[in-house]
Amino acid sequence: MSEILKWRSPEEANAKRPSRETAMEAVRTLIAWAGDDPEREGLKDTPKRVVDAYREWFRGYDECPADELSRVFEEVSGYDDMVMLKKIDVESHCEHHIAPFLGKAYVAYMPTDAVVGISKIARVVEIFAKRLQTQETMTSQIAQAIEETLKPRGVAVLIDAEHQCMSTRGVHHKDVTTVTTQFTGAFKDDAELRNRFLKLAGYG
């Protein structure tokens, strides 16, 4: 099993985490470093809220993509064409600035003898999105998880997202999105199939 599919139990994960109070103290330090008083009334509860938000934003570290893809359905009446999900919400944070990047994912696979519940594909996207990420890595991880678990004839992943580390800081370019793709198997080898996926996604 590859590293991206390994799952840590809550006990293992929590053993490596600083305490909640240590995390809140770090937030107080950052507030003070920004130039404000972490003890003033409007900011007093901010460390608690930030720590709670981090547990929600980064809950993907406690979830296993292989578990989501483990239950398949073999009764598909001979269906052997593309299965595609469009416009899956992507809400992630870049690992360079911990700034949000938001967009949509398009995921398809060519089943062999079985299919997986469609919500499970969306959950795999969500699990990897809820970690500190680069868009390129996340695109590859989603494809790899589906490839390794379902062993389909091919996987296609496209993510189109706006990065707030680019729109709210640095070059301050708004309305610029980044598109990343990953193709395996039939989607990589068959240009016609790959182009059909891109056209269905609205990028053909």
CATH 1.10.10 for domain 3-57: no
Is the pLDDT at 11 greater than 70? The verdict is no
Q: Which of 68, 126, 133, 135 is catalytic?
A: 135
CATH 3.65.10.10 for domain 71-201: no
Instruction: Name 101's Cβ contacts closer than 8 Å, sequence gap at least 6.
Output: 90, 92, 93, 94, 135, 161, 162, 163, 164, 165, 178
For the stretch 25-70, pLDDT in tens is 999 999 999 999 999 999 999 999 999 999 999 999 999 999 999 9
Q: Which of 94, 141, 144, 182 is catalytic?
A: 94
Res 175: pLDDT? 87
Q: Per-domain residue ranges for the chain?
A: 3-57, 71-201
Q: Which of 68, 126, 144, 163 is catalytic?
A: 163
94 noted as active-site residue: yes
Q: How many CB atoms lie within 10 A of CB 31?
A: 18
Is the pLDDT at 9 greater than 80? The verdict is no
β strands within the chain, DSSP E: 72-73, 83-94, 100-110, 115-116, 132-133, 154-163, 178-184
93 noted as active-site residue: no
Angstrom distance (rounded) from CA 113 to CA 73: 9
For the stretch 141-184, pLDDT in tens is 999 999 999 999 999 999 999 999 999 998 889 889 999 999 99
In 3D, which of 88, 179, 99 has the Cα closest to residue 125? 88
Lowest mean pLDDT among 6-15, 46-55, 109-118, 193-202: 6-15
64 noted as active-site residue: no
Is the pLDDT at 7 greater than 90? The verdict is no
In 3D, which of 114, 113, 110 has the Cα closest to residue 143? 110
163 noted as active-site residue: yes
pTM, two decimals, is 0.92
> 8: which DSSP letter?
-
Q: Which of 64, 97, 162, 164 is catalytic?
A: 97
| Token couple for 43 | 């900011």
Bigger pLDDT: 16 or 163? 163
Q: Are 152 and 109 contacting, i.e. CB atoms less than 8 angstroms apart?
A: yes
Residue 36 CB-half CA count within 13 A: 13
For the stretch 60-99, pLDDT in tens is 999 999 999 998 888 777 788 999 999 999 999 999 999 9
